[in-house]
Amino acid sequence: MRTVELIKVLSNPVRIRVMQYLQTHGEATTKQISEAISDVPAPTLYRHINTLLNEEVLLVKEERKVRGSLERLLAINVEKMSAGVNSNISETAYQFLMELYMKFQKYGCKDNANPQKDRLSLRTCVLTLTDDSFDKFMQDIAAVIEKYQAEENGKLRSVSFISAPVEEEGK
């Protein structure tokens, strides 16, 4: 799958939430995902999961019969995702940033856009971390995301993290 196609597949908010759930939990059944993302109607969620399966972004790790129906254990297809991202990192980054830009553009065109009320935020910070510390940092972020992922009566918010090398002066 080309990077552009991968970005298009993953640009849907429901699919992003499915991917986040699986990133956090490693593997899950469709039923477990549906219970965790309970604000999305089951048929809609199943349609998006099938799209991710058809595009090979997800894979079926195991199938088992449960009370007469087939239950599938799903996981992210890490090999496919890595190949898509690593094949052309600059194109991947460009597509990702353009998707974000388009969301900001749509938001800014709304008559009722209120960045302060909607908690719109743009932040950059530079950290000095070893690889091990950075891995731990990312695990901590994943734990925080899981903790706040589906708050009752909350509203959907998109949060993006980008880790990039810093160009150091004189190097």
pLDDT per residue as tens digits for the range 47-79 = 999 999 998 889 999 988 888 888 899 998 888
Task: Give residue limits of the domains in the chain.
Answer: 3-93+110-148
What Rg do the C-alpha atoms of the chain give, in angstroms? 18
70: which residues sit within 8 A by CB, 6+ positions away?
63, 64
Residue 83 pLDDT: 64
**Domain covering 3-93+110-148 assigned CATH 3.40.50.1220 in the classification:** no
Q: What are the angstrom distances between the C-alpha of 62 and each of 22, 56, 70, 117, 153?
A: 15, 15, 10, 45, 34
Q: Are 54 and 67 spatial neighbours (Cβ–Cβ below 8 Å)?
A: no
HSE-up of residue 146 (Cα within 13 Å, Cβ side): 13
pTM above 0.75, yes or no: no
Residue 51 pLDDT: 92
Q: How far apart are CA 114 and CA 131, in angstroms?
A: 39
